[in-house]
Amino acid sequence: MSVTRELAAYLVGSRPDQIPADVRHEAKRAILNYVGCAVGGSREDAVQIALKVLTPYSGERTARVLGRNERLDPLQASLLNGISSHVLDYDDTTPSNYIHPTSPAASALFAYTSTAPVAGADFVHALVLGFEVQSRIGDATYPAHYEAGWHSTGSIGVFGAAAAIAKLLELPLQNMIWAIGLAATQSAGLREMFGSMGKAFHPGRSAQSGYMGALLAKAGFTSGEYGIEGPRGFAPVTARSFDLARITTDFGSDFGLRRNTYKPFPCGIVIHPTIDACVQIHRDTKLAVRDIRAVRLKVAPLVLDLCSKRDIRKGLEGKFSVFHAAAIGLVRGKGGIAEFTDATVNDPDVKRVRETLTVAEADPSIAEDEVMVEVTLTSGEQVVKHVEHAIGNLARPMTDVELEDKFRDQAAAVLGVRRAAELIALCWSIDKLADCRTLIEATAPAP
Amino acid sequence: MSVTRELAAYLVGSRPDQIPADVRHEAKRAILNYVGCAVGGSREDAVQIALKVLTPYSGERTARVLGRNERLDPLQASLLNGISSHVLDYDDTTPSNYIHPTSPAASALFAYTSTAPVAGADFVHALVLGFEVQSRIGDATYPAHYEAGWHSTGSIGVFGAAAAIAKLLELPLQNMIWAIGLAATQSAGLREMFGSMGKAFHPGRSAQSGYMGALLAKAGFTSGEYGIEGPRGFAPVTARSFDLARITTDFGSDFGLRRNTYKPFPCGIVIHPTIDACVQIHRDTKLAVRDIRAVRLKVAPLVLDLCSKRDIRKGLEGKFSVFHAAAIGLVRGKGGIAEFTDATVNDPDVKRVRETLTVAEADPSIAEDEVMVEVTLTSGEQVVKHVEHAIGNLARPMTDVELEDKFRDQAAAVLGVRRAAELIALCWSIDKLADCRTLIEATAPAP
């Protein structure tokens, strides 16, 4: 059997009752995190522009755009959902291949299921499979594919969207092979777009392309049979080296969702340990700004290579300043959306800690997910915090409660506190819903 | 200046009156050939399936699908036009990079201009630029990009569609740079799809993607600034080696359209010399089937590697049989659409010449665009024809009259002889039309 055919056969044969309970729960964590990101990102400029430009090119507007009152046809809604869920760089990550896999798969799934009655258990099953396809293709082609310059959340995400929709459409084997092939031949997304709206466009367009590929494949639009492994197929064309056995090993027992991680803070990952340590100091000591005499950070050298600016004015710059990371942790005891606004960056207390009181030292013995923070208080007392693995890492995953906090931090601004809480409950119970639209409609703000 | 910026600046600054007359004429030849292919291909299964699947996902149906009575929104119409114009493998080719450049650019342009009043001179100008962008990027990255496995009619075609539409939308420099960037990050299309509907999907999807990129860029949706040349941009990611200077050299004096070629026969290019020679023998001698005792072909060895089947039943198989090529040339004196149907392949006269009377010999001294044909007549007389360069090559381009014959061969079946002739006249006068819709509406068959 070929790799593409073997993968397609697994997708066609998989049943919801074959997904282990821990994987189902991890899928719900991924959905909770995804919905929070999509609602939280739904006001960003990239979303507003795309919505305005593409509305005239929408068919019957049957699909909800998450977090908004507008509807579009489900292909266009997929694109919008993909943009909003990735635009804050806050969605999930599989560290083994740097893909953000939930965005492309769930963006297509939420668009589709907002137009038809789909049981939550089938949604979760399709998401598990859409995630799985990305994990397997991602692990098989990492690092060569990513290092070549592909933004794999786009270039591999398209397979996840195609597989997830094709599963809900109940495609038989031959058509599933074509859906994978049509995904392969639409695979796109360059890392050169980082720093522009083009980055968030990637999971959106891949959701839409994968979805369309599944629709065409269902109707008999053919593709090559060896979309992944053929000599001119996805893997040989986009990666110098790869291990295709990783795509077809341990079907049904190994699941990429078990290796998923969630960003606790919406900023560069190398400053996460510093926020984590400083938030802990804030919680443990209840210190006030006037109590702080000096702050000393020992960080991995890479951190200062990437994030050493302190004289900053913009929220976006704060996302890449380790000094700002220390300041918000100590002053606010948080590192959420509000801590990376222009207002917070220019807050006098935050500014003082960031620009006057904090020094940072590169220490080659400190790992990238590690930090040593020493705070000298005006009393002369020293508070020391050593974080060995920042929160959010696989070694120290965010708890369900922390994911709920993150969700509220994003969604409450759009929906209000009460409706955000209701939406959290719906995400946890999605696998019990007779019709996913109960959840989807709850993402719409008051008109 | 960066390559992307320099290219964008050329596109923004170019004026219709700067296009030399010979290039304008070649653009009209390309349009004539394109419209014939699009009308001729408009009944194929790939078109029918895509039209049926995507109609519900179309916005207001303002754009004509070429050769059909259906309308779709212009983004979906771009996709359909791209499929129909490439599905017969009959569109144009630039031999320096194997791109079929008119399909992606014109498919988007015809969709756009079917919804708004655009003067023919502006259409021709935008097509010249859309073609030019593909020629420059294609030549700069050939052969590495193509050999890696990319079907450049998709992966480079997207730049042509983006540039052509962005020009009609009158994008200023910064937005043109973003349009190119959004094209780069949607670049896709694998040669693994050859032999399936996925191949014709490529120019269609690239037309649609480029068009959408231009619309988004116009509204301020940003991309990276270095979409082509950046370290994670199109050229470094998709080609092992490239020469970016070819993108920015001789703007306004060198035009890829001058190196465009048109396929005279809808079949594998290596059997073109045989058809060419046999059609000439048929014309010169007026022979009938009963006059033929034996046919002997001397062909390049590659021809027998690729096209040596003679015991065939399907029209599609005939496209890759050098024996069928000889038979249709001698029996019918033609190599058009009708000569590659199942009916012709199973015609007793054609079958007899193909399977009983013809032998072929691989001769390493014969070039790939060359053939030596010897026909022995029942009278004992020998007729010998040596074709050194098959018709359609740059060395022996199809004449305007031959392009008209090709057009009629494709379009008359859909539109009838009289309307096909009117459409030919409209293609030749497109640069004089006040509104391109005069031409576009003439592609619709009687309802």
Q: What is the CATH number of the domain that holds A330?
A: 3.30.1330.120
Taking the C-alpha atoms of residue B89 and residue B86, their distance in angstroms, rounded to an integer, is 5
Q: Are residues B355 and B407 in the same domain?
A: no
- Which residues make beta-bridge pairs with B64? B71
pLDDT value of residue B433: 98
Residues B201 and B350 in one domain: no
Pair (B75, B128) in one structural domain: yes
What's the Cα-to-Cα distance from B17 to each of A265, B23, B26, B113, rounded to whole Å? 55, 11, 15, 20
Q: B58: nearest CA in chain A? A: A59
Q: What is the pLDDT of residues A267-294, one digit of tens each?
A: 988 999 999 999 999 999 999 999 999 9
Single out the residue in B363, B387, B411 at which a domain terminates: B387
Let me know whether B67 and B212 are in one domain: yes
Residue A390 has pLDDT above 80, yes or no: yes
Q: Do B192 and A50 touch (CB under 8 A)?
A: no
Phi, psi of B129 (to 5 degrees): -70, -40
Q: Inter-chain contact A224–B194, Cβ cutoff 8 Å?
A: yes
Same-domain status, B74 and B210:
yes
Residue A48 has pLDDT above 90, yes or no: yes
> Tens digits of per-residue pLDDT, B48-89?
999 999 999 999 999 999 999 999 999 999 999 999 999 999
User: pLDDT for A126-153, tens place per residue?
Assistant: 999 999 999 999 999 999 999 999 999 9
- Whether residues A190 and B58 touch (CB distance < 8 A) is answered with no
Alpha helix locations (H) across B169-289? 173-184, 197-218, 234-238, 245-248, 272-285
CB pairs under 8 A between A and B: 185
> CB of B118 within 8 A of CB of B111?
no
Average pLDDT, chain A: 96
Distance CA A369, CA A376 (A): 23
* B447 within a domain of the structure (yes/no): no
Task: Show residues of chain B in contact with A49, CB under 8 Å.
Answer: 216, 219-221
The interface residues of chain A toward chain B in range 257-286, judged by CB-CB distance below 8 A, are none
Closest Cβ–Cβ partner in A60, A186, A230 for B192:
A230
- Domains of chain A: total: 2
For the residues B177-187, what does the mean pLDDT come to? 98
**Looking at the complex, does the CB of residue B150 fall below 8 Å from at least one CB of chain A?**
yes
| pLDDT value for A85 | 98
pLDDT in tens, B405-429: 999 999 999 999 999 999 999 999 9
Cα–Cα distances (Å) from B266 to B89, B339, B385, in that order, read 6, 9, 22
In a domain, residue B446? The reply is: no
Domain annotation covers residue A393: no
Residues of chain A with pLDDT > 70: what percent? 100
Question: Is B221 part of the contact surface with chain A (CB cutoff 8 Å)?
Answer: yes
* Residues B218-268 pLDDT 10s: 999 999 999 999 999 999 999 999 999 999 999 999 999 999 999 999 998
CB atoms within 10 A of CB B26: 21
Q: Which long-range contacts (CB under 8 A, 24 or more apart) does B59-65 make?
A: B59/A55, B59/A56, B59/A57, B59/A58, B59/A59, B60/A56, B62/B114, B62/B115, B63/B111, B63/B112, B63/B114, B63/B115, B64/B110, B64/B111, B64/B114, B64/B437, B64/B440, B64/B441, B64/B443, B64/B444
Do residue B313 and residue B343 come from a single domain?
yes
What is the per-residue pLDDT for A268?
87
Q: Could you tell me if A190 lies within 8 Å of chain B, comparing CB atoms?
A: yes
pLDDT score of A240 = 97
- Could you tell me if B278 and B258 lie in one domain? no
Query: Which residues neighbour B348 within 8 Å (Cβ) at sequence distance 6 or greater?
Result: none
CATH number, domain of B67, equals 1.10.4100.10
pLDDT at A1 over 80: no
The pLDDT of residue A365: 97
Region B357-381 average pLDDT: 96
Judged against a pLDDT cut of 90, whether residue A355 lies above it is answered with yes
Cα B258 from chain centroid (whole Å): 15
Q: Do the domain assignments include residue A395?
A: no
In a domain, A118, yes or no: yes
Task: Indicate whether B404 and B433 sit together in one domain.
Answer: yes
A233 interfaces chain B, CB cutoff of 8 Å: yes
pTM of the entire structure?
0.94
Global ipTM: 0.94
A61 near B CB under 8 A: no
Task: Give the domain range for residue A337.
Answer: 269-387
Question: Is residue A41 a contact partner of residue A88, using CB atoms and an 8 Å limit?
Answer: yes
Q: CA B97 to CA B227: how far, in whole Å?
A: 20
Query: Based on the number of CB atoms within 10 Å of its own CB, is B305 exposed (0-12), middle (13-18) or buried (19 or more)?
Result: exposed
Residue type (1 letter), B140: A
Per-residue pLDDT band for B26 (boundaries 50, 70, 90) equals very high
